[in-house]
Structure 1
Amino acid sequence: MAGRRPGPCRCALFGRSGVPLSDVVELRPVTAQNLDACLALRVHPDQEGFVAPNVRSLAEAYVHPEAQTRVIHHGSELVGFVLFHPVEVGRPDQGHCIVRFMVDHRFQGQGIGRRALRAALDWVSREHHTDVVQLSFRPENVRARSFYRAAGFEDTGEVSEGEIVMRWTVP
């Protein structure tokens, strides 16, 4: 993507009134300094069956060197985690997947997840020069379908390992 600058991904969106939403949502690398906070993040108990714990995601990233992890910051608070992976190993031109995306239960319902997803899409499209991002979720996770549709993801009609696949294309 020509004209995009390197560096941390920051996404400050505006509310319906045109007033900036408070604080910046930013993706940062997982480091030794933020690892414990990352591992302490939890979704609501009713969401636990839909999102693997962050320790599992970090282990998967460790054994798959093409995977990338980021923590999500809202202002100075570490509030979430995201795991990216190429759609096809060795073929980054085929797009990337958001394999895991989670916002801690304490920060849900505040618009942070929406801004974090926007930051994640901006980051992966800029860092990997991709116009396509995919993700998948279990069919019974109706909140996820609604959330991702609102962010511009479209149903592909595909099901992978029992999960519905959606695709976002750079507008």
Structure 2
Amino acid sequence: MTITFKKIDSSNYKKCSFLKVNDNQKDFVAPNWYSVLEAVYEEEEKHPYAIYYGEDMVGFLMYSYYPADEEYDKDSWWMERFMIAKDFQGKGYGKASLSKFIENFQKDYPGEELRTSAVKDNHVAITLYEHSGFQRTGEFVEKEAVLLLDS
């Protein structure tokens, strides 16, 4: 399965903003339009990408860098958003996209830890993350379980 990532820019932000998850998943991930606005206007280093399978935009991913603060005593990288659009779910795109992202991240940032979080009731996402090498830390951020992919 050939998955590619394309940075969100003027050529694809509108299409990305219209990608939706199923109604029962709306509380699990922020809308893509909101994430794109965060990437533009918030101070943290954020990297928003559209996920493509061939010419089809099938999802969205954003990873971010946060300098040390009172919550984490060291700098940290987060896969802050990850979604596969409802019409493309259940076809292996999530697993393939996450695997490729992890491979790219570890190549670009060798030795760096990567965190993500998930609503505790989002069993599909948590299972996918755990099968991809993330482990629950026991921590929570904004009521979401934190998972860590060690380098």
TM-fit CA distance, 1:125: 2.5
Residue type of the alignment partner of 2:117: S
Q: Does 1:163 align with 2:144?
A: yes
Q: State the partner residue of 1:71.
A: 50
Q: Does 1:122 align with 2:122?
A: no
Q: CA contact under 8 A between 1:84 and 1:100: conserved in structure 2?
A: yes
Q: Among all aligned residue pairs of Structure 1 and Structure 2, give the percentage whose two residues are the same amino acid.
A: 27
TM-fit CA distance, 1:124: 2.5
Listed as ranges, the matches of 1:43-54 within 5 Å are: 43-54=21-32
TM-fit CA distance, 1:130: 4.4
Gaps of 5+ in 1: 1-22
Normalized per residue, the structure richer in strand is 2
Q: So what's the TM-score if we normalise by structure 1?
A: 0.78
* CA distance in 2: counterparts of 1:68 and 1:122, whole angstroms: 16
Q: So what's the TM-score if we normalise by structure 2?
A: 0.88
TM-fit CA distance, 1:89: 5.9
Larger radius of gyration: 1
Q: CA contact under 8 A between 1:87 and 1:134: conserved in structure 2?
A: no
SS of the residue 1:101 aligns to: strand
Q: Which residue among 139, 147, 150 is the counterpart of 2:131?
A: 150
Q: State the partner residue of 1:40.
A: 18
TM-fit CA distance, 1:128: 3.3
Corresponding pairs, count:
147
Q: CA contact under 8 A between 1:85 and 1:98: conserved in structure 2?
A: yes
Structure 1 pair 130/87, CA: closer, same or farther in 2 (3 Å)? farther
Listed as ranges, the matches of 1:13-28 within 5 Å are: 23-28=1-6
Gaps of 5+ in 2: none
Q: CA contact under 8 A between 2:32 and 2:60: conserved in structure 1?
A: yes
Aligned Cα RMSD in Å?
2.0
* CA distance in 2: counterparts of 1:124 and 1:64, whole angstroms: 22
Structure 1 pair 95/129, CA: closer, same or farther in 2 (3 Å)? farther
